[in-house]
A and B are shown apart, each in its own frame.
Chain A
Amino acid sequence: QQQVKQSPQSLIVQKGGISIINCAYENTAFDYFPWYQQFPGKGPALLIAIRPDVSEKKEGRFTISFNKSAKQFSLHIMDSQPGDSATYFCAANKGAQKLVFGQGTRLTINP
């Protein structure tokens, strides 16, 4: 009930391409869905987040798509750049409670 499932585990995209990472959740009480970006040796940094009252949120090259009925959400990175190479985590929670994280996706952007 508390799981967030993330795929793929790893992803290789050519520079300029679109990177897509998917997550699915089970707990319909979740009301906040952030994506975190993590570089080696650093803590996760909040990238973009969405609440279930909207189906899409865009910030620069990063877009979250949210499908409440399917209990799925995804991260799209447009015009992917080598500097986007990092590990990405989706997460979910309700209110101020603990974040439940997906297993992470290691993204590599080839120049």
Chain B
Amino acid sequence: GAGVSQSPSNKVTEKGKDVELRCDPISGHTALYWYRQSLGQGLEFLIYFQGNSAPDKSGLPSDRFSAERTGGSVSTLTIQRTQQEDSAVYLCASSLVGQPQHFGDGTRLSIL
């Protein structure tokens, strides 16, 4: 498809486990963003990748969160030792530089 693709769409895991969330951006989009959407917190920025530049990690809530972008395309967000407060919808967006951000449908993460 032509849009941002995220997988899995839903993930249920036990507290303390590690999870990996995947984002396939729109082809040709050099900018990629991760956001988190949780009840009462709205949409929060996590991390931003632009080309080969160092990522902007200023929104990552703790060192349990990390992300990488391989080959300037696919990105993986990893959460280690998950906690219940990590339960949220994780959204990925991509764009051409300076152009509107287009979002995927997110991964709904539930920590038991």
Asked if A46 is an interface residue, CB under 8 A from chain B, the answer is: yes
Expressed in whole angstroms, the minimum distance between the Cβ of A49 and any Cβ of chain B is 6
A44 and B43 contact, CB distance less than 8 A: yes
- Chain B contact surface mostly: strand
Q: Do A101 and B43 form a contact, CB below 8 Å, given A44-B91, A96-B31, A96-B98?
A: yes
- Chain A contact surface mostly: loop
Asked if A45 is an interface residue, CB under 8 A from chain B, the answer is: yes
Which residue, A36, A44, A89, has most C-beta atoms of chain B within 10 A? A44
B residues 93-112 in Cβ contact with A at 8 Å: 93, 95, 97-98, 100-106
Asked if A18 is an interface residue, CB under 8 A from chain B, the answer is: no
Closest residue of chain A to B104, judged by CB? A43
Asked if B28 is an interface residue, CB under 8 A from chain A, the answer is: no
Count of chain A residues near B, Cβ 8 A: 21
B50: chain A residues within 8 A (beta carbon) = 96
Expressed in whole angstroms, the minimum distance between the Cβ of A45 and any Cβ of chain B is 7
B31: chain A residues within 8 A (beta carbon) = 96
B42 and A96 contact, CB distance less than 8 A: no
Q: Do A104 and B97 form a contact, CB below 8 Å, given A41-B105, A44-B103?
A: no
Partner of A89, one of B4, B43, B44, B104: B43
Report which A residues bind B (CB closer than 8 A): 34, 36, 41-46, 49, 89, 91, 95-104
